A and B are shown apart, each in its own frame.
Chain A
């Protein structure tokens, strides 16, 4: 299809089709839930319009078969989802939207640079051809440059460190169904791109894989860490997303390291992507139910609200268990796959006699992050559904079941992701997934998490003061880089004008009427003599008129005289 000046191509093979279907499913659930959620909201038409637009764009991203098409829909997706983020138009929402848009646009532009470089290098942007096209350039600086640029763009959308800053701010301020989509599937658009970079362009590259694993590790841990310290329901879920993206990134890294040969890594990554999408859909919808009824999200405020709401509790529990990787859930399967892929690589490398301390460290971060996941999810669960609210009256209000907290439609659609996850868990209830070695990993995580829970039980954790965006990015950019560049630009732009102004002040200054003219002679002679000089001039002048006529006569006479002389 020839649009936008080039040929757009689409495909439904493999992951393209899978995620297109996921998109359809998730949008269905979200929109159905939105009917109740948005019932009393303003600007409904705008919301639905941009939801659908984002759906179209997201589907376009996943179905695209060449990177340029991906880019087109990626940009559209960024802009349409922005409107969803700022839907509330509160101060917090506008600021979060600002951050979101800035990261999206910057990421988009850098990604475009990467596409330029890639196109210049290989001459093709078709995803299917990329692996072969990039193979001859493996290890070259240009390929790395292209890959880095593209990763910035995709990674920003996915929420990888250090471009994760927008996630914990943007997801909470958006309406809950939109948050579900933002977390669940828009981040996967970024992951999708990362997959293409790591598994098609640079598959098998050790340095690159190491970098990806490092990013993944940091993201994994950081997200979980932030989630533990968060005191806002949706913010915890958002940070949790960051963490899970980290897990997926680690999987991608292992796949890249093993040149796509590790089945466990590939399977684990894709399965975890699907799981995470479904989990976040479920959890954010639950959070949406809470907000719908209470219009509050702080943990201290919503504490104890869910005590007599078993259905919601069930949904939440399914989500929490899955994300923690409790055996029996689909989350366990995906986490185990990932963990085992790491272990497999470690064993291979030990066999080959290479240093494995880094990977071992990675494995431990993996397990600890898993534990942290369990910790904060159980904290949320306990907070909402088990504990009582600090204030007695509030708790009484919560217990009062006057009107239904979610209608039938909402209840049924939220059930869908839960059911899906249970199904996946059931499908994978196979013997080899539950061997002792596999279980060992999961149980280690859970143990760590449980320990942490006990330690932090009852304590109210304060929010972290350090905000990467506010403390580092904004000052460096807005107070450092931008004024510097603006200063340079001002100097440049003023060069011509200032030069002219300088001339006009000095050399080219116009002599105004009646202005005293600068005379070198006066300056040389000094004022004392100027007077006398004037007088001399006056005397000479008075004879000017007669002077010339006299001269005329004199010259004529001289001529006559000369002729006379010469003649003789």
Chain B
């Protein structure tokens, strides 16, 4: 990273620095757009919240920290922003004030802090064994100093990546996601799923490519282990979503699964796979936000939280369900919607990387997960639009305009980004290439 701006120099080797590179800019743009749409959505949803003012305060502060995180130029700054982002986003989860939501917020806090502390381990070692505090593509490890200590450094790399993976919902630290999402207000769930998980992804990207370096990690047991973890998460998330009746929890498990698609691409350490990962970051954010907005609209207007209660709701909320369906098709990976291209690159990248077994097992697991995704998303749309004769239909009405606006924008984005995928793909390809 060039032209890093130093905000504060604490001591020799410890300073708070910011810089913008392609990767950071992408995440910043994504954050901003999603936040604006969520804010528009929340401006209507707040009528359903217990403490709207508290919500908006922390909503804004979390965005601030996320923006800072995107622009973080060294490990310390990234860690600082990560911790503060956890602390500031936690109050959004317990907005309801029920014992359940407070417990969920505490769980979120503890899992995230646990993960961040593991990530801190990487900082301790990279500060000592690194040549530069600032992120440099290809890694900053000092070859002379690390001679003989590769084993230790690999262990620390693994631990810190798994730690930051807690925020991204990587097994085994994913459990906060399904607990936190049902109790948080819908706009909060949307940004938690759609954007904040991506903050974890960003941290992992930085560590893998710009602290340790792909050359150091590629081909080692760390890569194998991480890919296995990612694939386990992909499978597990989809499978749990398949059997879940509470709509927001179903979407939460779906997030667990989908973000690990991204992580799978990151860990494969192949330009094509990373391209797929970055594309999926954008696609998943858009799609998952829209899905959560839809779920929130159903809760807000019709007070129904379970999928089994939603037969025939599609006829009462056509626009909501239309957006929901389009985004579902995107998430499954059906062309021409957004979501197909990322899967394509992930699979072809993995196959061309040539890792034993995992090369083809990865795409197979991804496709199995896509099947399960169809299994847990399509029935919602089908039962909504085609309840079947003689079945009891749910009562309800369409969501208010501001909420529909956000959903429509995202659904349109899903379609447009799917069909006109080239521009985004080119940008991402450049960024992906720049990481190696």
Residue ranges of A at the interface with B (Cβ–Cβ < 8 Å): 2-6, 71-72, 75-76, 79, 86, 89-91, 94, 97, 101, 105-106, 108-110, 112-113, 116-117, 119-120, 482, 485-486, 488-490, 492-497
Contacts and interface: CB of A to CB of B under 8 A. Distances in A.
B172 interface: yes
Interface in B386-436: 386-390, 418-422, 425
A75 B236 CA distance: 26
A482 B235 CA distance: 12
A94 B421 contact: no
Contacts of B40: none
Interface stretch (B67-75, B140-148, B183-191, B345-353): B345-353
Contacts of B78: none
A108 B334 CA distance: 9
A492 B347 contact: no
Contact of A91 (B171, B347, B364, B388): B388
Contacts of B367: 109-110, 112-113
Question: Which interface class (under 10, 10 to 19, 20 to 34, 35 or more) fits B?
Answer: 35 or more
Contact of A119 (B348, B370, B387): B348
Contacts of B421: 3-5
Nearest to B111: A496
Contact of A493 (B240, B335, B368): B240
Main secondary structure of the interface of A (DSSP, over half): helix
Interface stretch (B18-26, B86-94, B216-224, B336-344): B336-344
B306 interface: no
A496 B348 contact: no
Contacts of B360: 117
B187 to A, nearest CB: 26
Interface of B: 111, 171-175, 178, 232, 235-236, 239-240, 242-243, 253, 329, 332-336, 340-341, 343-344, 347-348, 351-352, 360, 363-364, 367-368, 370-371, 374, 378, 382, 386-390, 418-422, 425
A109 B371 contact: yes
Given A4-B418, A72-B336, A486 B239 contact: yes
Contacts of B171: 492-493, 495
20 contacts: A4-B335, A4-B336, A76-B335, A79-B334, A86-B382, A89-B387, A89-B389, A90-B388, A91-B389, A105-B332, A112-B333, A112-B347, A120-B351, A120-B352, A486-B239, A489-B235, A489-B236, A493-B175, A496-B175, A497-B175
Nearest to A43: B386
A496 B173 contact: yes
A489 B239 contact: yes
A486 B418 contact: no
Contacts of A94: 386, 388
A111 to B, nearest CB: 10
Contacts of A110: 367
Contact of B351 (A72, A76, A117, A497): A117
Contacts of B425: 5
Given A4-B419, A71-B335, A493-B174, A89 B386 contact: yes
Given A4-B341, A489-B240, A76 B422 contact: no
